[in-house]
Amino acid sequence: MSEEGLHVHGPHDHAVEHAAESGDSLGSRVAVVTAILATVGAVVGYQGGATQNEAMLYKNEAVLKKADASNQWAYYQAKSNKQNLAELALALAPPAKQEFYQSEVERYKKEKAEIKLAAEMLEAASTKADESSEAAMHPHHRLAQALTLMQVAISLASITVLTRKKWLFVGSLGAAAVGTLLWLSTFFMH
């Protein structure tokens, strides 16, 4: 379409192009800063989403391990009930059957010890996954704050072009600086 002299673009594109063509140095600086902020904001947004997904994966693992541990504890309880019945049968059984019930009691004690160990290991794995989830979410909060400040900076820069108030551009740069510091601080959090 541009061969025929027609070019379709959005209103913001038009304002930026017009400012650049008219030699408007403030408009040109705002356009460059806005483009840089949008790029950095996209990277920060991606990293924020990635940390949130990582945290959810760990949380999901924690829930699954906790459910497995709960199943093991239920199995442990069932073995305890069987052991109690075997102990009752031992107390009531004639002498010829007592050896059988004594071996059953011992078998249930051994099985319970193995089940208890498995349940405790699953609970520990659940706790570890929960801690990993919390650790993954910690940078996410800073990334969300950084992205918000980048968006505020872009908004202030856009308002600067419309109002021609340079102090708004300074505010935009300040918000961008704080957002960038928050973003960079996430690289040193581990």
| Residue pLDDT, tens place only, 25-78 | 888 888 888 889 999 999 999 999 999 999 999 999 999 999 999 999 999 999
Q: Which domain holds residue 64?
A: 2-188
Residue 23 CA, chain-centre distance (Å), reads: 45
In the chain, how many domains are there?
Answer: 1
Kindly state the greatest CA–CA separation across the chain. 109
Each residue of 114-140: pLDDT tens digit?
999 999 999 999 999 999 999 888 888
Q: Give the CATH number for residue 53.
A: 1.10.287
Query: What Å distances lie between residue 94 and 11, 100, 145, CA to CA?
Result: 96, 11, 75
Q: pLDDT for 104-117, tens place per residue?
A: 999 999 999 999 99
Contact assessment for residue 34 and residue 157, using Cβ atoms and an 8 Å cutoff: yes
Examine the pLDDT at 101 and tell me if it is beyond 50.
yes
Question: Is the model's pLDDT at 3 over the cut of 80?
Answer: no
